[in-house]
Amino acid sequence: MENNKTLLLADDHTILRAGLRSMLAKHYTIVAEASDGIEAIQLALKLKPNLVITDLSMPNINGTQVISEIKKRQPEIKILVLTVQKAEEYIYAALQAGADGYMLKDDTQDELNSAIQQILLGKAYLSASISKNVMNGYIKQNCNLDELQPSWTILTQREIQILKLIAESKKNKQIAEILSISVKTVEKHRSNLMRKLDLHDISGLTTYALQNGLAISNGMRRPS
């Protein structure tokens, strides 16, 4: 394939981005790399690449929101999700947001090349492992896409910010200072989080955030 297609790589793992760039630069022009969701949206809207390859778990704004924002403003930009998240709810959420393809980080390089080519030709792409998950999930659950939305999609952006900070062991006063809001506002958001997620204490909120890839545990990077 001629080197006339432009790609944007969005992932918070520097080594992974470097690996992707090394694999793909022979056949495509890598116009930029983004390490968080906000940067991914800004660069995509500014540079208008043919394809964005994005992770789902990223700082500031998650990949599903990245997909939705880019597609809302520049629907012609193609988006391929490359992630470790294989649960049906993540797959359906990404596809509903507008992703053109979905594959896992442990899929092969040949499959990645095939995915990119198919998507750039205007076709949708699901890797073999993902296609199987989607079909099995549909048969097992016998439900529609809305029912498979991850529970954190009901949260506001501010609530997600506060949830992340709670999971990082920040106190109400610290959260208020970081976000430039009052302690009372933090307490209100915390109460709303517990109500929406049906959780009853800080420990539950922290566990939820870690299990859903919304926070970092003990200085370690969360899975992407």
Of 10, 51, 50, 7, which is closest to residue 25 (Cα–Cα)?
A: 7
From start to end of 14-139, where are the E strands? 29-34, 51-54, 78-83, 101-104, 125-126
Give 178-197 pLDDT, tens digit per residue: 999 999 999 999 998 888 88
Give 5-46 pLDDT, tens digit per residue: 999 999 999 999 999 999 999 999 999 999 999 999 999 999
Band of the pLDDT at 215, cuts 50, 70, 90? Answer: low
The pLDDT value given to residue 223? 38
Kindly state the helix (H) or strand (E) to which residue 131 belongs, with its residue range.
helix 128-141
Q: Does any domain span residue 28? A: yes
How would you list the strands of the sheet with 51-54, edge to edge?
29-34, 6-10, 51-54, 78-83, 101-104, 125-126
CATH number for the domain including 190? Answer: 1.10.10.10
Same domain, 111 and 195: no
- Please give the residue range of the domain that contains residue 207: 151-211
Q: Does any domain span residue 35? A: yes
Band of the pLDDT at 80, cuts 50, 70, 90? Answer: very high
Band of the pLDDT at 71, cuts 50, 70, 90? Answer: very high
Of 51, 55, 119, 163, which is closest to residue 66 (Cα–Cα)?
A: 55
Taking the C-alpha atoms of residue 100 and residue 52, their distance in angstroms, rounded to an integer, is: 10
Same domain, 98 and 173: no
Same domain, 203 and 180: yes
Q: Count structural domains, the chain.
A: 2
Same domain, 27 and 118: yes
Residue bearing the bigger pLDDT, 169 or 198: 169
- Look at residues 141, 176, 200 and tell me which one is the last residue of a structural domain: 141
- Look at residues 120, 141, 162 and tell me which one is the last residue of a structural domain: 141
The pLDDT value given to residue 59? 83
The pLDDT value given to residue 143? 47
Amino acid, single-letter form, for residue 69 = E
Q: Does any domain span residue 223? A: no
Task: List CB contacts of 38: < 8 A, sequence separation 6 or more.
Answer: 60, 61
Kindly state the helix (H) or strand (E) to which residue 65 belongs, with its residue range.
helix 63-73
Same domain, 135 and 52: yes
Same domain, 125 and 169: no
The pLDDT value given to residue 142? 45
CB-facing half-sphere around the CA of 134: CA atoms within 13 A: 17
Amino acid, single-letter form, for residue 152 = W
Band of the pLDDT at 221, cuts 50, 70, 90? Answer: very low
The pLDDT value given to residue 29? 96
Taking the C-alpha atoms of residue 172 and residue 81, their distance in angstroms, rounded to an integer, is: 35
Give 91-148 pLDDT, tens digit per residue: 888 888 999 999 999 999 999 999 999 999 999 898 887 876 665 554 445 445 444 4
Least confident of 59-63, 117-121, 163-167: 59-63
